[in-house]
Amino acid sequence: MTRLPLLDHSQYERALRMASAARPAAAPAAPRAAPRAGPLLRDRFGRRIRYLRLSVTDRCNLRCEYCAPASGAPHAPSPDILLDDEIVEILATMARHGLEKVRFTGGEPLVRPGFCDLVRRVRAAVPGLRELCLSTNGILLAERAEELVEAGIDHFNVSVDTLDPERFRRVTRGGDLARVRRGIERLLALGVRSVKVNAVLMRGVNDGEIPDFARLTLELPISVRFIELMPLAHCGEIHDERFFPAAEVLRALAPLGPLEPLPRGPTSGPAAEYRLPGAPGTIGLISPVTETAFCERCNRVRLLANGMLKLCLFGDEYVDLRAVLRARPRRPGDLEAALAEAMDRKPEKMAGFAGFAMMSVGG
């Protein structure tokens, strides 16, 4: 297992203390488990890992305020990025042991050369995957939508933090909202049944748009998800003043009518889902900062573009799958052994918010 250093960021430390005050202290680290029995992708706390967030690149064509420093984050050298063959082998191995859902993330996944070819290979070679999902900033979506659907992507998450074009340009440091909206419209025209619009809420920036976002679900068959701002290293300095908790989202939505809670599925992500009366779409709340039960239903791990399997978004536990794949000679069962080690290392709950740029670990 490899542990990566945390960034030193004094403003982040202040934000971390504020955020951590809202949740109970993490449990002490559990001792190493005995040799495992049962499903390979089940951690020592009984949670089945059915969902992998797969970063295919650490590069992006935007620099959103909450996701990356204005100057960008350091990039892994090209030789360190997983090859298509390596990605397919990891997914095929995990699917044989219960993985059902993969979300391609970045950076921005659409800037990876040959991305659609990779998706086609995964769809053809790993039939056990029930869901192939894409998280994108939407800048390249309109011109790529048809190819993505043809390649096998059936669930799309698009980042739209504001419905105001000028505000969108400021928050994303250069993004064009009209291009993103054309991409979403193209997906709906193609008949895509799962389109989610993600908005990271920031007080004084877009919190006044909550009702406008929610009304989209009354008109369109999309899911609008509101995400709490996390005190990551590069945005610790703005977190104190901009943090907007999920409880206030519910209060802002109250004038629109009662919210019907929706059931969760085995491959559901972290959102609590609701529906307004008569709405074809849904509303989701993702509250990693204030929800005390956030970790209990965790069903996912993250594979970084450099092959590090990150076991908790807010921890520094990693297992290096690239090293396993590139070891010479390789022994049969080494990849399964590394995955078993990862399940034994996955923590019960987050210990705090680690100092990293979100674009470097897959959004």
Query: Over 90: is that where the pLDDT of 1 sits?
Result: no
Q: Tens digits of per-residue pLDDT, 153-174?
A: 999 999 999 999 999 999 999 9
Angle ∠(105,192,168) on CA atoms, nearest 5: 55
Q: Tens digits of per-residue pLDDT, 117-143?
A: 999 999 999 999 999 999 999 999 999
Percent of the chain at pLDDT exceeding 90: 74
E strand intervals along the chain? 51-55, 101-105, 131-136, 155-159, 195-201, 223-228, 260-261, 272-275, 282-286, 300-303, 308-310, 318-320
Nearest to 171 by CA among 285, 291, 219, 180: 180
Give me the residue spans of the domains in the chain.
10-23+40-355
Query: Over 80: is that where the pLDDT of 339 sits?
Result: yes
Query: Over 50: is that where the pLDDT of 3 sits?
Result: no
pLDDT category at 316 given cuts 50, 70, 90 is confident
Please, what is the average pLDDT of the chain? 88
Q: What are the tokens at 153?
A: 């992507």
Query: Over 70: is that where the pLDDT of 360 sits?
Result: no
pLDDT category at 27 given cuts 50, 70, 90 is very low
Q: What is the dihedral of CA 59, 60, 63, 66, to 10 degrees?
A: -80
Q: Tens digits of per-residue pLDDT, 220-230?
A: 999 999 999 98
* pLDDT at residue 237, rounded to an integer: 64
Q: What are the tokens at 40?
A: 């390979």
The number of beta carbons lying within 10 Å of the beta carbon of residue 119 is: 22
For the segment(s) 10-23+40-355, the CATH number from 3.20.20.70, 3.40.640.10, 3.40.190.80, 3.90.1150.10 is: 3.20.20.70
pTM: 0.87
Query: Over 90: is that where the pLDDT of 26 sits?
Result: no
Element (H, E) at 306: none
| 188 burial via Cβ count (<10 Å: 0-12, 13-18, 19+) | middle
- Sign of the alpha-carbon dihedral angle for 215, 217, 222, 227: positive
Q: Which has more pLDDT, 268 or 260? A: 260
Q: How far apart are CA 295 and CA 278, in angstroms?
A: 32
